[in-house]
Structure 1
Amino acid sequence: MSCQISPEQIDATIAFHGHSCPGLAIGIRAAELALRELENPRDTEIVAVVETDMCGVDALQFLLGTTMGKGNLIHRDHGKMAFSFFRRATGKGVRALLNPAARGGMDDEMAELMQASGDGTATEAQKNRMTELRAGLQQRFMTLPLEEMFCVTPVEQGAPRPPKILESLACAHCGEKTMESRTRRFAGQTLCIPCFQMVEQKI
């Protein structure tokens, strides 16, 4: 089944992100899945945990209202095309991992063309083919049934806890105020992470 998010919302999401691309389409469909599985929660009820920093995260921010500033968008730098969604009121959670089959076997050709584009050797024909493949992949992502787009599994441990306001401590080296939970102790001093890394580095 094609994407059920309205064309107007899709256009607004593209405007928010700045361009249309396959990565953004993944995020749009992930947001659609979250709304379906969690029964249309308000943005203050939903938490998104993303395992990537790609374009699709912007779609989640725009369509779901999940943001780092509100504490309901959490980035875990795992390099996976995976998104977990939770509804705080019920504790229900699901994880959606992009199904490799959703890419329709285009990866090898895409990788070759992207390499040529990246090193500046792509011919005009290769550039045109890349544009054609990207458009086809984006269209595929926007029309696949969600069940074919993602591998979905329940998440049992519940939503991450809401953010807490903690004391800020002055770093003993640079003097800058740092949230207590992000400080490190070294040689009896309280340090921010950058200063700790400078004195603790092993190489």
Structure 2
Amino acid sequence: MSTYIHFTEEQKQQAASVDLEVFLRCHGEKLLASGREKRLASDHSVTVRGNEWYDHAEGRGGHAVSFVQRFYNLSYKAALYAMELLKLEFSDDEQVVCISENDACGVDAIQALLGCSIGKGNLLFHLRGKQAFSFYNRRTGNSVRLVLKPRPEGMSREESFAYLQGKEPKELFEVKPAVITLPEPARLFDSYVCDCCGETTGANWIRLAGDKKLCLDCYPNYNRFEV
């Protein structure tokens, strides 16, 4: 039986109104002009326009939420499972934190459903090439790490997709304790102008070279053990 997770009308509208053209471009997807719509370069049968999408090959479409569910199914289910386990809601600020152990496109579903993003400082990466995600609820202090269970071997891409679609989140993921300490909230840093290139740089990325403040691109690397 599917687990029911309550979304407020505001949360539903916020998720459904995501501009798919902006969303896809921000995540490296090339879009091709197709009349008043945009066609995915990676799948010419799929077109998007604003917050709507349509798969002409399958004759089905919808809004942003169903798009994320259809094309980013794995992390969509991880996000739903985390919402159930930790009583999470869409994060307006940094109340919800996700640390992903992969940088695959599926991470986008976590951004859409939970409001985790690099810009807000609550989507972080601990890259280990694993389909594993740690979720944290700052309000309660609770956390969980979800690790994808091994799938049956020898499945085609279509069979693998059908397998993921047909499983409940608890059937797909192993629940483990989060082992990474919850990072502190994002800091605000002063900025300085690099004395070499003249570009404004955050203080945490500035290095001192004598009496000059240099950005990382202008600061000469020093490691006498690299020979």
TM-score (norm 1): 0.69
Deviations 1:22-47 (A, max 9, x none): xx211111111111111133413211
Q: Structure 1 residue aligned with 2:162, among 132, 139, 154?
A: 139
Structure 2 residue 109 is matched with structure 1 residue 34: no
- 1:165 Cα offset (Å): 0.8
The residue that corresponds to 1:149 in the other structure is: 172
Distance 1:3 1:105 in 2: 28
The residue that corresponds to 1:116 in the other structure is: none
Structure 2 residue 211 is matched with structure 1 residue 159: no
Measured at CA, do residues 200 and 106 of structure 1 come closer, stay the same or move farther in structure 2, by a change above 3 Å? farther
- 1:106 Cα offset (Å): 3.1
Structure 2 residue 214 is matched with structure 1 residue 191: yes
Q: Structure 2 residue aligned with 1:90, among 140, 145, 158?
A: 140
Distance 1:85 1:174 in 2: 39
Distance 1:83 1:171 in 2: 37
Share of identical aligned residues, percent? 32
Deviations 1:104-135 (A, max 9, x none): 1137xxxxxxxxxxxxxxxxxxxxxxxxx222
TM-score (norm 2): 0.63
Higher relative contact order (CA 8 A, sep 6+): 1
Measured at CA, do residues 105 and 186 of structure 1 come closer, stay the same or move farther in structure 2, by a change above 3 Å? farther
Answer whether contact 2:90 2:113 (CA < 8 A) is retained: no
Q: Indicate the structure with greater helix content.
A: 1
- Secondary structure of 1:49's aligned partner: strand
The residue that corresponds to 1:124 in the other structure is: none
Report the RMSD for the aligned CA atoms in angstroms.
3.1
Answer whether contact 1:34 1:85 (CA < 8 A) is retained: yes
Unaligned segments of structure 2, at least 5 residues: 8-14, 17-61
Unaligned segments of structure 1, at least 5 residues: 108-132
Q: Indicate the structure with greater strand content.
A: 2
After TM superposition, the structure 1 = structure 2 runs for residues 29-178 of structure 1, keeping only pairs within 5 Å, are: 29-44=77-92, 45-99=95-149, 101=150, 103-106=151-154, 133-155=156-178, 159-178=182-201
